[in-house]
Amino acid sequence: MESTAVLAAQQPNCLICPSRHGHALKPPSFFTEKRHISPTSLRLQKQYPLTFCSSLQQPAPPLTCNAILSDTCSEVTELADIDWENLGFGLLPTDYMYTMKCGRDGNFSKSELRRFGNIELSPSAGVLNYGQGLFEGLKAYRKRDGNILLFRPEENALRMRMGAERMCMPAPTVEQFVEAVKATVLANRRWIPPTGKGSLYIRPLLMGSGAVLGLAPSPEYTFLIYVSPVGNYFKEGVAPIHLVVERELHRATPGGTGGVKTIGNYAAVLKAQSAAKVKGFSDVLYLDCVHKQYLEEVSSCNIFVVKDNVISTPSIKGTILPGITRKSIIDVARSEGFQVEERLVAVEELLDADEVFCTGTAVVVSPVGSITYRDRRVTYVEGVFGVVAEQLYSVLTRLQMGLIDDKMNWTVELR
């Protein structure tokens, strides 16, 4: 079913103009600017025509400018007025979010771009009562020429679909997911940091929004995307982080949901993570719950161990999230001549490693300065990066920002 994006919340709860009365407000300037329209942007306009809320404009005509949904606009919207030099990893409310609904028929439709703000849910929504929800994370980067790059959005779409199957949920198609990401990013393009200052973090959510009392799949689902400009994930920035190995609490179990990006996986790590931070550590490294001997992952990122020319990382076996940055670093490392092994990695191998680093969408590549295991602290790097981690970080980030040719065909460019 062809979806229609509408730039408004329906009355009476319009997020653009909360009042039910008419206003003399005009649409934001970037909706009315005249820009070059290419065949690609015309296709997107036809697929996702935009209209304004009736309280802004009566009647609401079709949007004739492609500023929101065009992936070929050559003009760069003026940047938001924030301190780009000191971005941390926290929420900065932006202009628009994207929503799309799915009923009992399993088809997603009725998509909207609406002002960022609170959403309304029934107290008996499936996501609130039974945790039926997934999320994704990806980034958009601003190139030096002003164009925008997305990094492997189709991989996030596929991972969400895999997670949805495990959580008994319908999911948007890959095309729906990617086009929704494009629309949301372009609607918020003024929030994309200048080149080298950070990125626009994109958070797609899939949740059981329908009311349900007994334990059962939700009768309705909502797909939502919001964005925020971000800098470094850890407060240390690109400085080495310090991990502690957790031996009692576990992130995931065989046969569970550790291999999908469901919301409950992350609440489960907060206790151990909070205790570690009180003791001065950056985060927690988890072991498998059966043998309590093999590395799994950090709270929100994958782990790599370097010894000589060999890079080892725990294999994907159902308890470890198949990270997209993890997958990308493995391919980059092999292209750079390293031997990469995906296998069981014993915790004792940390004691003799040359380097250790983490990967994830939020952190990209984060060097590990030390790991503490059974009261023994092992130190790896004194500077910012180890040699291997720095090499891989440089290649991947330069590719993500469009500073080198994308021979992997991983990026999607929006103009």
Catalytic residues: 261
Q: By the 8 A CB rule, do 397 and 329 touch?
A: no
Measured between its terminal Cα atoms, the distance across the chain in Å is: 27
Burial of 106 (0-12, 13-18, 19+ CB in 10 A): exposed
Structure-token match 């330069």, residue found: 398
Give backbone dihedrals phi and psi of 178, rounded to 5 degrees, phi first.
-65, -45
HSE-CB for 20 with a 13 A CA cutoff: 3
Residues 6+ apart with CB under 8 A from 59: none
CB burial readout 178-203, b (16+ within 10 A) else e: bbbbbbbbbbbbbbbbeeebbbbbbb
Q: What token pair was written down for 320?
A: 């470890």
- The 3-state secondary structure of 288-328 reads CCCCCCEEEEECCEEEEEEECCEEEEECCCCCCCCCHHHHH
Write down how long the chain is: 415
Longest Cα–Cα distance in the chain:
70
